[in-house]
Structure 1
Amino acid sequence: MPARKRMRIASGPVLFNWAPEQWRDFHFRLADVEDVDIVHVGEVVCAKRHPFFEPYMAEVIERLFASGKQVVLSALALAMNRNERSLIDSITAMAGEASASEETADEGGEGEGALIIEANDLTALARLAGRRFVIGPFVNTYNALTVKELAHLGAVRICLPPELGRQALSALVPAMTDIGVEAEVFAFGRMPLALSARCYHARSHGLPKDGCRYVCGEDPDGLPLKTLDEEPFLAVNGIQTLSYACLNLLGEIPLLKDMGVSVLRLSPHATCDMAEVAAIFRAVADENMAVAEGLARLEALKLPFPFANGYFHGQPGAAWLKPDPA
């Protein structure tokens, strides 16, 4: 029986509207973080943000490649007009620039210095035909037939939606492994739940979507929403709705390894030391740190939102079932 490959740690795309220099410096720092193997760059939520960090994109990608990272360019998760479709076109066209490197690609589909695209909307698939690509968590990949079709089109890795529970993952991940598609699991961060044609962030400030003044930048980890009883339960990020709680599957890593999950995705947050988060997940994944110690170290970071893992255990998504140290 072949030896099981080491789990890899991925930094997902920044979902929030950070200042361009903050975005650049965050990725520069990731280049020096040994615990992160894969780095996603690109705008997923709002096409209007893209021009601000585009001037830094080539420099960031070059820096990440130079440090040995696998770089994934993430495309928009919702295209509603010509400009947004054009942005997806320009992003997916970059996949062709990596074609020469793909001959040396490894089993996961990423060669040395090869840029691979992450599709977060089916709009991108036709433009990626015949090339290797990644499927993001915004695409509803819920069953083996969907995985098989995506693999036929060229998908080499799929980040499964965070609402899938243990039972679904136990059936789906081995099916992915059987056809040579890597399974990636969203393991840390506010969970992406929905996208809308309207921008609630702008509306909450009395502004129209087209004249939003980029007010989402005032909430670098999202704008919390409360119930009528003043209980926080969701967060808004431009047109995106996220969970208020932070998904934390650190305690489920042993189960995910047994299923055959290859990659753990950590979603970046501004109020969190993501390098430390990556170090904790890497240590637990490598079995160099006990789950209990890892959870204690995460709790010591004093994040401004609670942890959650309910979906994994078949409970409401916001529930937190603290893993048994045993």
Structure 2
Amino acid sequence: MQLTLGPVFYHWAPERWRDFHYRIADEAPVDTVVVGEVVCSKRAPFKQDHVAGVVERLEGAGKRVLHASLILVSLPRERRQTRELMQLGEDEGEPAIEINDLTCLASLDRKPFAVGPFVNVYNEAAAGFLASRGARRICLPPELPLTAVAGIAAALPDVAIEVFAFGRIPLAISARCYHARAHKLTKDNCRFVCEQDPDGMPVKTLDEAGFLSVNGVQTLSQNCTSLLRDIPVLRRSGVASLRLSPQDCDMVEVARLYRDVADGRLDGAEAESRLAELYPEVPLANGFLHAVPGHLRVGAGA
């Protein structure tokens, strides 16, 4: 079972973003790394000067690199950038691009590509359509239950099916910037205040209970997905890869925990106990996989 490190959702300082990926290249036992700005196109120029160096470092360490599209393509500038991104060639028959918006298909010309968890692949028909257009890898939406995951994996044995296995759950994307609004700013003059919250801005109910996390135009869960204890059943269901979404914690150690459980060197329950220490004060959850509300934690010790 492979491990994929997803794109960084948050607006980290350029040097931090670069150094994070350098350490991933040198130390993390992941097979694939997704790079690129997926949430807000205004953030992309900050890291642009470091992308080539990051890709070179990752590929030099034996990692496969996927370049991700935006989740929501709306502005003429974003459409132009997306078309340019889709021109990237394949790598020895393997995809070099991960699409997060179906508008990307118009510019792909049936070359191999990967699909991110933001495309609504809810059944075998949708997955089959994408496979017919060239999809070689599909990261399923995090809200799918295990029965749907297993059904899609069984129907498409030649497509690498991936599940979202760690990180705050991406729930929605909007044209409005919640971060700017919270700071009484407009989206066009946001001053990039989202950089103040490297792990998202907490949103609480009127009763001060944790509810959601906001990342610019993106809404995330308050809870963090942990499928460490579910890895054996995911393997039996035909899942080829687990996706780890970068959070403001030691992602190298997170990757090592998932690698050790996937390789049978560590028990899932023990690994999850260690994970809670690595990422404290953030509730762990796996409810969606078990067909219950996503914020719940299901299984022994939950």
Q: TM-score, normalised by structure 2?
A: 0.97
The residue that corresponds to 1:33 in the other structure is: 27
Q: Secondary structure at the match of 2:156?
A: helix
Q: Secondary structure at the match of 2:207?
A: coil
Greater CA drift, 256-265 or 80-89: 80-89
Q: Give 1:92-241 correspondences, 5 Å limit.
A: 92-93=86-87, 95-96=88-89, 98=90, 101-102=91-92, 105=93, 109=94, 116-177=96-157, 180-241=158-219
1:128-175 superposed Cα distances (whole Å, 9 cap, x missing partner) = 122110000000001111111101111000000000011211212211
1:243-273 superposed Cα distances (whole Å, 9 cap, x missing partner) = 0100111110000000110110000012x11
CA distance in 1, matches of 2:301, 2:239: 21
Amino acid at match of 1:145: A
Q: Confirm whether residue 279 of structure 1 aligns to residue 256 of structure 2.
A: yes
Amino acid at match of 1:71: V
The residue that corresponds to 1:58 in the other structure is: 52
1:308 to 278, 285, 291: 285
Aligned-pair distance for 1:40? 0.7
Aligned-pair distance for 1:11? 0.5
The residue that corresponds to 1:75 in the other structure is: 69
The residue that corresponds to 1:267 in the other structure is: 245
Amino acid at match of 2:55: I
Number of residue pairs matched?
302
Q: Secondary structure at the match of 1:192?
A: strand
Q: Secondary structure at the match of 2:179?
A: helix
Aligned-pair distance for 1:288? 1.0
The residue that corresponds to 1:257 in the other structure is: 235
Aligned-pair distance for 1:176? 2.0
The residue that corresponds to 2:9 in the other structure is: 15
1:257-306 superposed Cα distances (whole Å, 9 cap, x missing partner) = 00110110000012x11000000000000111111221121122242311
Q: Secondary structure at the match of 2:10?
A: coil
CA distance in 1, matches of 2:156, 2:166: 22
68 and 237 in structure 1: CA distance in 2 versus 1, 3 angstrom threshold? same
Aligned-pair distance for 1:84? 1.4
Contact 2:28 2:255 (C-alpha < 8 Å) held by counterparts: no
Amino acid at match of 2:31: D
Aligned-pair distance for 1:324? 5.9
Amino acid at match of 1:275: V
Q: Secondary structure at the match of 1:209?
A: coil
Aligned-pair distance for 1:43? 0.4
126 and 231 in structure 1: CA distance in 2 versus 1, 3 angstrom threshold? same
CA distance in 2, matches of 1:250, 1:211: 41
Contact 1:47 1:87 (C-alpha < 8 Å) held by counterparts: no
User: Structure 1 runs of 4+ off > 6 angstroms?
Assistant: none
5+ unaligned residues in a row in structure 2: which ranges? none
The residue that corresponds to 1:113 in the other structure is: none
Q: Confirm whether residue 289 of structure 1 aligns to residue 283 of structure 2.
A: no
Greater CA drift, 139-148 or 296-305: 296-305
Q: Secondary structure at the match of 1:59?
A: helix
Amino acid at match of 2:147: Q
